[in-house]
Amino acid sequence: MVFLSCFGLKKLTRSKPRDSTPDQGRKKKAQTETNVLTAALRALGTVSSHIPVLGMLNSVIEPVLALTEQVQQTADNMENLVQLSSRVEYLTEVIQKSDNQEIIGERLRGELLRMQGDLGGAHKEQWLGQFFNSRDNAAMIKKHNNNLLAITENTLMGVDQIMKKLKDIEQSKLSTFGAQITGGHGGSGGAGHEVGGKGGVGGGPRLSFRHGIPAHLGNISGGHGGSGGSGMVGGMGGTGNGPIIKFS
């Protein structure tokens, strides 16, 4: 159920019963905390660890995973994460059936190394969270998408068939994972001798839809206010703003 209010848009979902075992709970938590690219890379790692000639992939998948799992999936980066992950998933499928596993594996390793370098640079410059942003980093993301697509063309399928397959995978990911859209986190208030500083404002996401709300959207949540600063009296927590929705 969806409703609009002066605070924005929220999607209400019924609560589900608690998992019956601790292991199931951990698995469910891990699923909701990741993004689609991280999930695709983990699946590739599982496959490569069982195929001896693909052992060269393991040493590069782990460093890339260490970086991608720090990225939260949002409205701004969802499209790029889905496109990249769809190419990785398709290559994972192709490489298991190919007679040229080592060649495809080497090309994929080279591209993952390039991705690791770009992600590592973004992490060092403290903008890893914005790396997959579809508006601010379009050229670099397009480069990785094209490089991965070029590897998929090393198969017997035609380009049109490959593009249709990728489109199907993208749609499947959107419906399975949904777009978890969240607002920002306000900064913590500064420490005070007597009273701690007030926490910062958590900005709400700004969304624009042309034809109503997409069916694949998951939960939409506002920003999280920052925690109050420490002091003899703790500071007041910041305000979390709700989403701003525009229908055009």
pLDDT of residue 104: 92
Mean pLDDT, each 10-residue run in order, the chain (248 residues): 42 41 39 73 94 92 94 82 93 91 93 96 90 80 92 75 88 65 64 76 63 54 71 76 65
**Dist CA 180 CA 73 (whole Å):** 6
Dihedral sign of CA atoms 12, 16, 22, 23 in order: negative
Tokens of residue 233, six digits: 């009296």
Distance of CA 140 to the CA centre of its chain: 16
**Dist CA 231 CA 211 (whole Å):** 50
pLDDT of residue 159: 80
pLDDT of residue 26: 36
Q: To the nearest 10°, the Cα dihedral for 134, 137, 139, 145? A: -60
- DSSP states of 170-193 as a string? HHHHHHHH-EEE---BPPPPPP-S
Strands 206-209 and 217-220, how do they pair? unpaired
Domain ranges of the chain: 33-177, 178-248
Does the global pTM surpass 0.85?
no
